[in-house]
Amino acid sequence: MNDLKVKNIVILGGGTAGWMTANVLQKKWQHLGIKITLIESPDIGVIGVGEGSTPLLKVFLDSLDISESEWMPECNATYKNGISFKNWSTVSGYEEYFHPFPCGLDSLTFNYHYNNATQRRKGVDVIANPNRFSLMASLTEKKLAPIPSENFPFNFQYGYHFDSILLGKFLRKKAVERGINHIQGTVESVAQNSNGDISSLKLSNGQTFSADFFVDCSGFTSILLEKTLKVPFISFSDNLFNDSAIALPTEIDPHIPSETLSTALTNGWAWQIPLTNRFGNGYVYSSQYCTQDEAEKELRAHLGILDDDIEARHLKMKVGKTQVSWRNNCVAVGLSQGFIEPLEATAIQFIYATIEQFAIAFEEGGFTNQHKDEFNQRVNMNFEGIRDYIVLHYKTNSRSDSQYWIDNRENKNISNNLEAMLNCWYNIQNLEAELKRLNIATYYTHRSWNCLLSGMGLFPAKENLTPADAKKAQSDLKYVDNFIDRCAMNFKPHEEML
Ligand SMILES: Cc1cc2nc3c(=O)[nH]c(=O)nc-3n(C[C@H](O)[C@H](O)[C@H](O)COP(=O)(O)OP(=O)(O)OC[C@H]3O[C@@H](n4cnc5c(N)ncnc54)[C@H](O)[C@@H]3O)c2cc1C
């Protein structure tokens, strides 16, 4: 047994956040004799959406020694090379672009793209859509998986698509096998000590669970952090307008895509996520601009399913963050600590980053609150760093078919950092240097910023150069095409790899 003050931890909530937290903490602290209990309510259930990831999900699963061959078939999972953004821009040649996950080989062609994008920022008539310069975009167009053959030993980062309910069940099975105490029941009341610390949770069947430390994974209701400890919620609605979503499955294609597709619609955007057995589709929109029925009608028309046979699920989203994620003897992880809308599928990545950063801070402080403030500051910076990049998609749209898109473009509520990055782009300065100066390069790199800003076709009118001068400014596209085509030969069709 340890002689630490923290001997019992209770996690409230058994969604993706709860089971990810349980697995990570169990692996880290089991040897210290800390007992971990997870309580979840079968009556309330989980949110049941969230089917796309970033490469951090692989880091999380690898850290638990869980192989792809074990978890992917159980969760109907597929590989994800990145996200295509369609119809966000109306600029000719830029109606669609692909945002790839970082890939070592793309860094070789990145400089060719950066040169062209910089020339195009100066007005020179050169090709600057990022797709032409990205191996990951090429693999995606050919519906190939991001796993190279053995004789092509380069490292690729990729994400996944998966059934979120099945992933939750899989993680629950793993956590219980590894020693987590699993309780099913609904928490009805929370008791606190005189110093404000949480002392116990009481279930509706009368059972009481005491602990030294609590993790709030109760979803949007944020029972412990917001409701009990009264941490204020800060809404992001001044520059992220979407507050609602609809989810609707359709049949999968025999040639399964290896990307998420994000298509701009009238008052938001539609996702299409390929699993092995179905497409998960949905529409993320703002209820300030259209009703639930109008949104559903538009999504059905977009998907070509006009009948009501397939039922749609309507969801409300609480977009923003709690003022702090850790207060007293409680840390919130997942939707209970906040949520940035799912445009770049960052929530699960955020969950993992929060757990890891919390575990480091808690351990370094000898399982006390010593590093609470630094931790909270870091989480808040993570929120702002990701938020800026998401807002950038809306701010740079060129659609004028609805007030929604016009208001997004004309919105003046953007952070100083985002304003500085836009100025840097328009003034043809160096994106990488500016990200470093602003100390925000860890959230999205200059490659992602360059990809989005050029992918949206955010360029001035073309200069009147002679074709010869324009050609001189252009990167060697023959080399780029040849390089990408040769690399792509080392990859197999997506469905063959599943
Ligand atoms: C439209 C939409 C699309 C999304 N897409 C993505 C995506 O592509 N990628 C991504 O990474 N994320 C995405 N997300 C976010 C993702 O769904 C969540 O981050 C993830 O599912 C984690 O949720 P959670 O565990 O925090 O909450 P939940 O799944 O809501 O779990 C809450 C848990 O708390 C329990 N609980 C609540 N109250 C009580 C109580 N009183 N007693 C006992 N138990 C209780 C519930 O039963 C449940 O087990 C999306 C979210 C939305 C809304």
20 lines ligand 1 (CB under 6 A): no
Q: Does residue 265 fall inside a structural domain?
A: no
209 and 338, same structural domain? Answer: yes
8 lines ligand 1 (CB under 6 A): no
- Residue pair 28/179 in contact by the 8 Å Cβ criterion: no
Q: Does residue 150 fall inside a structural domain?
A: yes
42 and 146, same structural domain? Answer: no
187 lines ligand 1 (CB under 6 A): yes
49 lines ligand 1 (CB under 6 A): yes
What residue owns the CA closest to ligand 1's atom 5? Answer: 50
10 lines ligand 1 (CB under 6 A): no
Tell me what pLDDT residue 5 has. 83
Ligand 1, residues 335, 349, 354: which to mutate, most atoms within 8 A of Cβ? 335
Q: How far is residue 112's CA from residue 445's CA, in Å, rounded to a whole number?
A: 17
Q: Does residue 18 fall inside a structural domain?
A: yes
At 226, list the tokens.
């917001």
449 and 332, same structural domain? Answer: no
Q: Which atom of ligand 1 is nearest to 186's Cα?
A: 42
At 188, list the tokens.
């009805």
Q: Does residue 94 fall inside a structural domain?
A: no
- Which amino acid type is present at position 378? R
Q: Does residue 433 fall inside a structural domain?
A: yes
The number of domains in the chain is 2
426 and 364, same structural domain? Answer: no
Tell me what pLDDT residue 463 has. 78
Q: Does residue 396 fall inside a structural domain?
A: no
Tell me what pLDDT residue 208 has. 98
Q: Does residue 449 fall inside a structural domain?
A: yes
355 and 467, same structural domain? Answer: no
- Mean pLDDT, each 10-residue run in order, the chain (498 residues): 79 98 97 97 95 97 97 98 98 97 86 94 93 96 94 90 97 98 98 97 98 98 98 98 97 95 98 97 98 97 85 96 98 98 96 98 96 98 97 98 98 98 96 97 94 96 76 84 93 92
Residue 318: active-site member: no
417 and 366, same structural domain? Answer: no
428 and 485, same structural domain? Answer: yes
Q: Which atom of ligand 1 is nearest to 347's Cα?
A: 11
476 and 415, same structural domain? Answer: yes
Q: Which atom of ligand 1 is nearest to 335's Cα?
A: 26
Domain of residue 12: give its range: 8-51+163-236+319-370
186 and 144, same structural domain? Answer: no
324 and 232, same structural domain? Answer: yes
Q: Does residue 347 fall inside a structural domain?
A: yes
317 lines ligand 1 (CB under 6 A): yes
Indicate yes or no: pTM above 0.85.
Answer: yes
Q: What is the CATH number of the domain that holds 15?
A: 3.50.50.60
Q: β-pairing, 8-12 with 208-210?
A: unpaired
- Residue pair 212/193 in contact by the 8 Å Cβ criterion: no
Q: Which atom of ligand 1 is nearest to 203's Cα?
A: 42
489 and 422, same structural domain? Answer: yes
Q: Which of 7, 28, 80, 174 is catalytic?
A: 80
343 and 220, same structural domain? Answer: yes
Instruction: Compute, in angstroms, the gap from residue 17 CA to the centroid of ligand 1.
Output: 7
Tell me what pLDDT residue 1 has. 41
